[in-house]
A = this chain, B = another copy of it.
Amino acid sequence: MLTEIGKRVKDASVKLAVASTDDKNRILKAIATALRENCDKILEANALDLKNGRENGMAESLLDRLMLNVDRIESMAQGVEGVIALPDPVGRVLWETERPNGMKIQRVSTPLGVIGIIYEARPNVTSDAAALSIKSGNTAILRGGKEAFNSNSAIMDVMRDAIAKEGYNPDIVELVRDTSRESANALMKMNGYIDILIPRGSAKLINAVVQNSTVPVIETGAGNCHVYIDEFADIDMAVKIVNNAKTRRISVCNTAESLLIHKNIAELALIAIKAKLDEKNVILYGDEVACAICPDIEKATEEDWATEYLDYKMSVKIVSSVDEAIEHIRKYSTNHSESIVTDNMEIAEKFMNSVDSAAVYHNVSTAFTDGGEFGFGAEIGISTQKLHARGPLGLPQLNTFKYKIYGDGQVR
């Protein structure tokens, strides 16, 4: 069955890859309209998922991720419309040259082909991922979690109907209607049908895809992010940045999980930061020096340094130099986002050049690692790997390139 889907979606990719911007936007407009018009149908399917979830004892936080309502469907439709407004990434001349023999070489952006996305409980990913794929000229095979099966199926049916009614091939997007572990594993081996696989969800899901996929993968997500308060930091700024990086939204991947403070400023900085974090009841887990400064800080274990809490919790370590901070980050970071707070430009540059993460900040909160905040528009995730793309995966990152070479009979 998966091969059949693979074949349909791959065949559909041929035309979509060369579709005009107008055509792609027309499809997206039709999808947005259809989502609104079929709100009741989608909510009905979602109610079934929620009922099943409750019966299976699903946690409230997961039920909340799964839950749709009129507002959330409206925001899904607006999300699709937001993609219409973004520039078409396909066909950009990225570089060109003329060689001594007269041939002209262009590097031109082109779609990847077929994108596979494996995700978990959020049904809005179904329309978000479809919209980004279509606008970037890629067809998509989506495989959501079993908890959201009815919601995802309803959303996909609505989208495919809308695409077909506009006169286009609905196979530009399809949902794998088999939510068994086998279907996910089979998807990971579909070389020749899928050009790139993007897992969206827990560290466990991402790791399973990396371990098992023979299709090229872009890793997204896991973020054990650090803020380092240097000895030349402005303490007020440090307090503001740590508070924002930790508490703005605890559940997102760019949330700071670990605080490093230079020993020469440790007492002043830690007391001020802790006072601010106490307002939100953030629990700190510190090394010996941190615990000596603030005795009500809990003692950190080795495990804490590597933990992405996604909670009102943060580890704290006092370091004796920027080098020790860099070393600690190298050891424990997931290479997502790290920030240094300092007034010393030289130390800042050392930190930013040596820390090997997708985004490195100087005097800025890690909360900005986000396609929208970078000015890229909607994104399909944050890449924490080095191949192809790092950081926000927006429309341009869902393209590859080819070389077009023009001549008049050149031979070697």
A26 touches B (CB below 8 Å): no
Contact B408 A386 (CB under 8 A): no
CB nearest to A374 among chain B residues = B105
Least Cβ distance of A239 to chain B in Å? 10
Cα distance, A375 to B97, chains bound together (Å): 9
Which of A248, A354, A361, A410 has the largest count of B CB atoms less than 10 A from its CB? A410
Contact B374 A400 (CB under 8 A): no
* Those of A80-122 within 8 Å (CB) of chain B: 97, 99, 103, 105, 110, 112-113
Contact A216 B405 (CB under 8 A): no
CB nearest to A341 among chain B residues = B409
Q: Which chain B positions have C-beta within 8 A of A359?
A: 402-403, 405
Least Cβ distance of A223 to chain B in Å? 14
- A interface, size bucket: 35 or more
* Those of A190-215 within 8 Å (CB) of chain B: 191, 195-196, 210-211, 214
* Those of A204-235 within 8 Å (CB) of chain B: 210-211, 214, 216-218, 234
Cα distance, A367 to B391, chains bound together (Å): 36
Contact B364 A103 (CB under 8 A): yes
Q: Which chain B positions have C-beta within 8 A of A191?
A: 210
| Chain B proximity mask over A58-98: 1 for CB below 8 Å, otherwise 0 | 00000000000000000000000000000000000000010
Q: Which chain B positions have C-beta within 8 A of A245?
A: 411
* Those of A362-394 within 8 Å (CB) of chain B: 362-365, 367-369, 373-375, 385-388, 390-391
Q: Which chain B positions have C-beta within 8 A of A353?
A: 18
A347 touches B (CB below 8 Å): no
Q: Which chain B positions have C-beta within 8 A of A400?
A: 386-387, 390
Least Cβ distance of A399 to chain B in Å? 9
Looking at chain A's contact residues, the main secondary structure is: mixed
Q: Which chain B positions have C-beta within 8 A of A401?
A: 390
A134 touches B (CB below 8 Å): no
A295 touches B (CB below 8 Å): no
Least Cβ distance of A338 to chain B in Å? 10
A356 touches B (CB below 8 Å): yes
A17 touches B (CB below 8 Å): yes
Contact A375 B405 (CB under 8 A): no
- Of the candidates B97, B244, B356, the one whose C-beta lies within 8 Å of that of A113 is B356
A172 touches B (CB below 8 Å): no
A165 touches B (CB below 8 Å): no
A158 touches B (CB below 8 Å): no
A51 touches B (CB below 8 Å): no
A5 touches B (CB below 8 Å): no
A41 touches B (CB below 8 Å): no
Cα distance, A207 to B363, chains bound together (Å): 46
Contact B99 A386 (CB under 8 A): no
Contact A410 B216 (CB under 8 A): no
A54 touches B (CB below 8 Å): no
A14 touches B (CB below 8 Å): yes
Contact A356 B110 (CB under 8 A): yes
With A244-B412, A373-B412, A374-B105 in contact, do A196 and B386 touch (Cβ < 8 Å)? yes
The 6 closest A-B pairs by CB, nearest first: A244-B411, A364-B407, A386-B400, A388-B388, A237-B409, A367-B412
Since A99-B375, A113-B356, A368-B405 are in contact, a sample of 7 more A-B pairs with Cβ atoms closer than 8 Å, ordered by chain A residue number, is A196-B386, A196-B387, A211-B214, A367-B411, A367-B412, A390-B403, A391-B403
